[in-house]
Amino acid sequence: MSASRTRNEELARAEKMRRDFTANVSHEMKTPLQVISGYAELMANGLVPPEDVPRFAKLIYDESQAMRALIDDVLVLSRLDEVAPDAEDAADVDLSAAAEHVAQRLAKPARDAGVRLRVQLEPVLVRGNETLLEQMIYNLVENGIRYNREDGLVIVETSEERAADNAQVAIVRVSDTGAGIPPDKRDKVFERFYRLEKSRSKETGGTGLGLAIVKHAALYHGGDVTVESQEDKGTCFTVRLPVASSSSGSCGSSG
Ligand SMILES: Nc1ncnc2c1ncn2[C@@H]1O[C@H](COP(=O)(O)OP(=O)(O)OP(=O)(O)O)[C@@H](O)[C@H]1O
Ligand SMILES: [Mg+2]
């Protein structure tokens, strides 16, 4: 029967995704671990001249940080897979405050990359998880900086718009002046571990989980994320989320 076949196909697909994910995570962990254990072994065996020790220690430190970031991202994603929306810790979150905080956290990386960071923020409330919402914006702005050109620009906007169906929608828009994303890759960039640049280069250092987290965080909050891009002009990511209803208080609502 077709319903049960569809169900079986769904289960098989979920199982394959889980296996791929585990394989990818293990692979991504192995690289930094090899570097860490390799350098540590050299140092333990006294094979590193004293003047090189700080440099080796720094490499070990950087790789540990990369591993920690990877583990954090994997934990966030698996939590998003498991926890039902509207669970425990929902609060009214002002996206403009979250975006402001992100801009402060990323001011130095932007300066270092020679990218200007501009904010155009209107207060707008969303019901949800503050940490996750901030991470969603952080991942988008970090990409805008990382995949930009020298002397480029990143604009972070928050606002409230009325959708076609008259519902109020909270908007986060992050646009950049980078190289853009080719049309056939625009869906793929939201997949776990997908990167346009095949190997994880020292320079950019990502693992390809950032946009997967953005997508799942948007879905978790009842919204979505879309991307528009023009090659050599730049890319614009738009997250749309339901606005926290002003009647949501201790009094409840009848509708
Ligand atoms: N603003 C952008 N402009 C151009 N390409 C982008 C942009 N954002 C993402 N990409 C491409 O999409 C890929 C996936 O992005 P994603 O944020 O998921 O992973 P990442 O940045 O590689 O690693 P991380 O897990 O640290 O975020 C990137 O590797 C990059 O190739
Ligand atoms: Mg990223």
With helix as H, strand as E and coil as C, how does 134-166 read? HHHHHHHHHHHHHCCCCCCEEEEEEEEEECCCC
The answer to whether the beta carbons of residues 33 and 60 sit under 8 Å apart is: no
Ligand 1 atom with least separation from CA of 197: 31
Whether residue 176 has its Cβ less than 6 Å from ligand 1: yes
In the reported structure, the alpha carbon of residue 215 is separated from the centroid of ligand 2 by a whole-number distance in angstroms of 12
CB within 8 A of 187, min separation 6: which ones? none
- Ligand minimally distant from the alpha carbon of residue 147: 1
Residue-level pLDDT at 79 = 86
The answer to whether the beta carbons of residues 241 and 218 sit under 8 Å apart is: yes
Pick the CATH number of 2-82 from 1.10.287.130, 1.10.10.10, 3.30.930.10, 1.10.3720.10: 1.10.287.130
In the reported structure, the alpha carbon of residue 210 is separated from the centroid of ligand 1 by a whole-number distance in angstroms of 7
Ligand 1 atom with least separation from CA of 200: 22
Residue 108 three-state SS: helix
CA diameter of the chain: 73
DSSP designation for 128: E
Q: CATH assignment of 91-242? A: 3.30.565.10
Residue-level pLDDT at 91 = 92
Query: Which residue of 76, 153, 174, 189 sits with most ligand 1 atoms within 8 Å of its CB, as the best mutation to test the pocket?
Result: 189
pLDDT in tens, 112-136: 999 999 999 999 999 999 999 999 9
Cα–Cα distance measured from residue 135 to residue 109, given in angstroms and rounded to the nearest whole number? 16
Whether residue 144 has its Cβ less than 6 Å from ligand 1: yes
Query: Which residue of 71, 195, 214, 237 sits with most ligand 1 atoms within 8 Å of its CB, as the best mutation to test the pocket?
Result: 195
Residue-level pLDDT at 221 = 94
Query: Which residue of 147, 149, 200 sits with most ligand 1 atoms within 8 Å of its CB, as the best mutation to test the pocket?
Result: 147
Residue-level pLDDT at 245 = 81
Cα–Cα distance measured from residue 131 to residue 229, given in angstroms and rounded to the nearest whole number? 28
CB within 8 A of 132, min separation 6: which ones? 76, 80, 217, 220, 221
Cα→Cα distances 74→69, 140, 224, Å: 9, 17, 20
How many Cβ atoms are within 10 Å of 27's Cβ, its own excluded? 10
Ion ligand 2 neighbours, Cβ < 5 Å: 143, 206, 210
CB within 8 A of 159, min separation 6: which ones? 122, 124, 170, 171, 173
The answer to whether the beta carbons of residues 235 and 229 sit under 8 Å apart is: yes
Whether residue 197 has its Cβ less than 6 Å from ligand 1: yes
Whether residue 189 has its Cβ less than 6 Å from ligand 1: yes
HSE at residue 66, side-chain half, CA atoms within 13 A, is: 25
Whether residue 215 has its Cβ less than 6 Å from ligand 1: no
- All structural domains of the chain with their residue ranges: 2-82, 91-242
Q: Which helix (H) or strand (E) holds 240?
A: strand 234-242
Angle at 147 between CA 142 and CA 150, to 5 degrees: 105
pLDDT in tens, 197-225: 765 554 566 889 999 999 999 999 999 99
Integer-rounded Cα Rg, in Å, for the chain is: 21
Residue-level pLDDT at 206 = 80
Whether residue 234 has its Cβ less than 6 Å from ligand 1: no
Tokens in use for 97? 């405050």
Averaged in consecutive runs of 10 residues, what is the pLDDT profile of the chain (255 residues)? 81 88 89 93 95 95 92 90 70 97 97 97 96 96 96 98 91 97 96 80 72 96 96 96 71 41
Residue-level pLDDT at 80 = 86
Dump the DSSP string for 215-233: HHHHHHTT-EEEEEEETTT
Q: How many helices (H) and strands (E) does the chain have?
A: 6, 7
Closest-CA residue, ligand 1 atom 8, reads: 143
Dump the DSSP string for 110-125: HHHHT-EEEEEE---E
Cα–Cα distance measured from residue 207 to residue 251, given in angstroms and rounded to the nearest whole number? 45
